[in-house]
Amino acid sequence: MEKGMLVLGLVAIMVVGVVVVVESSVEGEEVSYDGRSLIINGQRKLLFSASIHYPRSTPEMWGSLIGKAKEGGIDVIQTYVFWNLHEPEKGQYDFSGRADIVRFIKEIQAHGLYASLRIGPFIEAEWNYGGLPFWLHDVPGIVYRCDNEPFKVHMQNFTTKIVNMMKSENLYASQGGPIILSQIENEYEMVEHAFHEKGPPYVRWAAQMAVALQTGVPWMMCKQYDAPDPVINTCNGMKCGVSFPGPNSPNKPWLWTENWTTWYRAYGKEPETRSAQDIAFQVALFVARNGTFVNYYMYHGGTNFGRTTSAFTTTSYYDDAPLDEYGFIRLPKWGHLKQLHEAIKSCSNPILFGTQFTLSLGQQQMGYIYQRNSGECAAFLVNQDDTKSVAVIFPNSSYELGPSSVSILPDCKNVVFNTAKVNVKNNTRLVTTGKKFNESEMWQEFKDIIPTFADTSMRSKTLLEHMNTTKDMSDYLWYTFSYQHESSNSKAVLSVRSAGHVLHAFVNGASVGSGNGNHEKVNFTLDNTITLNNGSNNISLLSVTVGLPDSGAFLERKVLGLRRVRIHDIQNSKDLSNHRWGYQVGLLGEKLQIYMDHSSSNVQWRNFTSSNNPLTWYKVRFDAPAKNESFGLNLGSMGKGEVWINGQSIGRHWASFLTSQGSPYQTWYHVPRSFLKPKDNLLVILEEQNGSPLGISLDIISTI
């Protein structure tokens, strides 16, 4: 026992002295670790990290977001790397615009912060196909994420490309850059058992492959308890302060890679949020238990532009994070966490260099104490009882601990912060109506073509799987067939079973109904009464995806689209699943890119009518407001589809999908200022249902 230490029934946990050094062949800041923390240039570090994903905002926003994170007490910016964004086609790469990862990392460096690079390259992240490019699906013999040579070859190629790109720009800390951590794979432990004997060798291979790239900084695997040395296993989740058993070696530090600041929104999943108090409680408890790296997922969620969401995920992503979708500070969450960071950082020396002790203060109360030889001391007094406040004695003084709270005492005497006490005022998002598009004369429309069997060139005598047919080049796949009806009774029932996600049915060009699944139940059946001509009938079924699945084992085997089609009439029931089918990938408006200014004239637009037809494109031109403000497009009057501003997609819209409270999951859609021109902006909206564009407005978003 060291001289001057508290001795009231304490259990001491000594700091492990083994330091793991990561080899580097170039000069810079050496990054290593021991059982207490990451070590940068020989100094142990207590770090708070913020997830900000570069493609979910714009380059014009990056500096402001990173600056606000730094102001909030953040030391590290963490991001995934998005494989299908960067290599949409095999061997063809894109690192421009929102995909300019080098520019993003350099922006982090310019703000004096560190970076954590989660290469994956499978990432999940509520991102389309978990970040995997769909062209992988067609690689012969491939099985994703296991000991499978075709997958490992492509995974290694992309990982190596990203590492070499970072090296070429001197962005690793070992080269003087900001990157202090990298991640390989992502939550593999969740699916490893499904691959049986092909799972563990893949984990070992991935670790060895990554380490062999010699980045000069440590690698980690999240939610992978058997991460091979020297890779660090880390925790993901909301309650790592309670649930994390610790790293798989006493020589590795406690790292928390995903502390979820809220729940992402998905259609069919009831909206939830997470309080600042609960986040702070778990962070303080994690640090008290030996944690020295905490990353907030997300600190800024941003926007799933274009078709980048995973299945049934909303376009807005983690809007309730400390920085909201538009980049505004959200209070009290941002402010409460800033104060938490300041309080914990005031305990840095004892935490990083002292000996940890634990002291029972009650049935659900515990004291975690860090003390140095010099007598410098810090304490975390924890009440895990979520029903009542408790008074505890430590060591000779009484402290009142609220339900589910941690009091932080940087000198083991005075409380400077309690996680349950919020001393920051709330702010509120203010939406001010801006430009209204409520005059029919403003709008033009184009009704997309509903193809018949005769219009198609792709044919099959069976129902094709949706994703494998579209290759993710479009959300839309037409299934068409010609049906001969020989009866004086025109009524029949069309029964369609779909594996997801949405279906719009047409008989002889007229809409006869729609159906959809949701995040919780993807499969659905449409049973609608239809009217048939006596003789030949054109049946056109539009299958629609709302993002591709992003999780689970054997992702390459997942199926979407129509699985069975039947028509029941008064005389019989016909199963048409093995009928002669015609297929068309995408809509005509998509193929002709009528959302682009230079190709908008490829179709004949007409003046707006009030008929509100399904599968209709609407366009309007407008001048941008003069002030440099944040904008949200109010699409509450629309149904479902996609939106473009000057040719750039701001995402899918689906205002007609309501929560159990009868409200849309999302009404306002972020329009980045950089998407706008001062004059003559082109707004194009694809409407699948019967929404009216006359209720749309470009509103000003602010906070008060």
Check residue 627 and give its pLDDT.
83
418 inside domain? no
Cis before 121 (ω within 30): yes
Check residue 5 and give its pLDDT.
38
Check residue 7 and give its pLDDT.
35
What confidence tens digit (pLDDT) does each residue in 625-660 have? 988 899 999 999 999 999 999 999 999 999 999 999
When divided into structural domains, the chain yields a total of 3
Check residue 15 and give its pLDDT.
42
Q: 615 and 507: one domain?
A: no
Q: 183 and 61: one domain?
A: yes
Is 556 a catalytic site residue? no
What confidence tens digit (pLDDT) does each residue in 219-230 have? 999 999 999 999
From 87, 192, 258, 687, the catalytic residue? 258
* Both tokens assigned to 490: 């025109």
Q: 596 and 562: one domain?
A: no
Q: Which of 356, 391, 410 is the last residue of a domain?
A: 356
Distances (CA, A) of 294 to 30, 48, 245, 390, 418: 21, 5, 15, 27, 18
Q: 554 and 613: one domain?
A: no
Check residue 626 and give its pLDDT.
83
Q: 519 and 601: one domain?
A: no
5 inside domain? no
Q: 281 and 216: one domain?
A: yes
- Is residue 597 predicted with pLDDT exceeding 60? yes
Q: Which of 540, 564, 586 is the last residue of a domain?
A: 586
- Is residue 382 predicted with pLDDT exceeding 90? yes
Cα–Cα nearest to 256, from 47, 19, 53, 404? 47
What confidence tens digit (pLDDT) does each residue in 427-466 have? 999 999 999 999 999 999 999 999 999 999 999 999 999 9
From 29, 107, 185, 187, the catalytic residue? 187
Q: What are phi and psi of 479, to 5 degrees?
A: -110, 120
Cα–Cα nearest to 34, from 12, 13, 14, 16? 16
Check residue 17 and give its pLDDT.
52
Q: 156 and 297: one domain?
A: yes
Q: 500 and 570: one domain?
A: yes
What confidence tens digit (pLDDT) does each residue in 83-140 have? 999 999 999 999 999 999 999 999 999 999 999 999 999 999 999 999 999 999 999 9
Q: Which residue has the tokens 């790296």?
A: 293
Mean pLDDT of 580-604: 97
- In which band, very low, low, confident or very high, does the pLDDT at 678 lie, cut at 50, 70 and 90? very high
* Both tokens assigned to 550: 């992003």
Check residue 18 and give its pLDDT.
67
pTM: 0.96
379 inside domain? no
Mean pLDDT of 552-560: 98
Q: 531 and 643: one domain?
A: no
What mean pLDDT, rounded, does the chain reach?
95
396 inside domain? no
692 inside domain? yes
Mean pLDDT of 171-184: 98
Looking at residue 22, what DSSP letter applies? Answer: P
Mean pLDDT of 159-165: 98
> Which residue range(s) make up the domain with 536?
449-586
Q: 304 and 332: one domain?
A: yes
Check residue 29 and give its pLDDT.
87
Q: CATH number of the domain that 438 lies in?
A: 2.60.120.260
627 inside domain? yes
- Residue 365's CB is within 10 A of a number of other CB atoms, namely 19
Q: CATH number of the domain that 136 lies in?
A: 3.20.20.80
Mean pLDDT of 14-21: 57
What confidence tens digit (pLDDT) does each residue in 236-261 have? 999 999 999 999 999 999 999 999 99
What confidence tens digit (pLDDT) does each residue in 604-633 have? 999 998 777 899 999 999 999 988 899 999
- Is residue 25 predicted with pLDDT exceeding 80? no
Alpha-helical runs (H) found in 183-223: 199-211
Check residue 185 and give its pLDDT.
98
Mean pLDDT of 48-69: 98
- In which band, very low, low, confident or very high, does the pLDDT at 22 lie, cut at 50, 70 and 90? low
Distances (CA, A) of 83 to 455, 503, 529, 568, 649: 36, 29, 45, 46, 20
Q: Cα separation of 330 and 364, whole Å?
A: 32
46 inside domain? yes
Is 258 a catalytic site residue? yes
Check residue 13 and give its pLDDT.
40
Q: Which residue has the tokens 């000198």?
A: 411
- In which band, very low, low, confident or very high, does the pLDDT at 11 lie, cut at 50, 70 and 90? very low
Q: Which of 334, 356, 378 is the last residue of a domain?
A: 356
Q: Cα separation of 234 and 232, whole Å?
A: 6
Cis before 230 (ω within 30): yes
* Both tokens assigned to 146: 């296991």
3-class SS string, 487-525 = CCCCEEEEEEEECCCEEEEEECCEEEEEEECCCCCCCEE
Check residue 48 and give its pLDDT.
99
395 inside domain? no
* Both tokens assigned to 520: 């919780």
Q: 599 and 523: one domain?
A: no
Check residue 306 and give its pLDDT.
98
* Both tokens assigned to 118: 């989660």
Q: 295 and 330: one domain?
A: yes
Mean pLDDT of 500-527: 98
